[in-house]
Structure 1
Amino acid sequence: MKIENPFESGHIRNYILLYASVVVIMILFFIASTLFNNNEEKIEKKNFPTDTSRINKAQNTQKKMPKKEKKFKLLDKAY
């Protein structure tokens, strides 16, 4: 059995046509998806409260709470 030269036997032309057809199909799908997808949803901007008085009140209440006893103790040395 002899190995054929793909340049002489015409296989390269078939591969190039296959590649070109795949690229054309991808381009057509991209154009179709952009043409038929015109539903643009508008997203409302979220405004977060920047009232710092509530934050300060929360921090003050945490300071007033009694401290809990520690359940574990850290080692004196790092190994």
Structure 2
Amino acid sequence: MSGRDETTLELTQCPECDALAEVVARFTLGSTDGPIEHARVTCILKHGFVMPAERLVPEHLAKEPSSRPQIRVRRRRE
């Protein structure tokens, strides 16, 4: 594991929208090449992913919350 305690907030960048995201869990999954560390990530726009931990953007490179992407709203055609 990463050596962090349960009260440490680990931040990264959302792979879908580049918004600030939190690593909510880390765990290991087996593969044919051996165990691979994975992370469960949830961004501030509620996107959720399970991905290899090696693909996480380091916290110091993640964008600040003020650079959050604009949200597009679709309106239904009537």
TM-score (norm 1): 0.21
Comparing both structures, which one devotes a greater share of its residues to helix?
A: 1
Larger Rg: 1
TM-score (norm 2): 0.21
